[in-house]
Amino acid sequence: MQKYITVFINGEPFNCNHLMSIKDLLLYLNFNLNIIIVEYNKEILKPNLYHKYFLNMNDSIEIVTIVGGG
């Protein structure tokens, strides 16, 4: 039996497996890890540490995509 939790991604509720890391979540949502910035519970995360942070009920994740322009 899988256990699910609700987290908030850019303010919207999202149900996911309770064993997911930030990296697992980002890959599941098809984000390019090279062009985003992630804030997890008001803390900016370094990309090489995404795999160390595991999701908990009601966590807040803000994902910002870096866009180049000219």
- Report if residue 50 sits inside a domain: yes
Render pLDDT for 11-44 as a digit per residue (tens, 0 to 9): 999 999 999 999 999 999 999 999 999 999 999 9
Question: Which CATH number covers residue 19?
Answer: 3.10.20.30
Q: Does pTM surpass 0.85?
A: yes
- Give residue 50's domain range: 4-65
- Report if residue 27 sits inside a domain: yes
- Report if residue 21 sits inside a domain: yes
The predicted pLDDT at position 70 comes to 61
- Report if residue 70 sits inside a domain: no
Contact 23, 47 (CB under 8 A): no
- Split into its structural domains, the chain has a count of 1
Render pLDDT for 49-69 as a digit per residue (tens, 0 to 9): 999 999 999 999 999 998 877
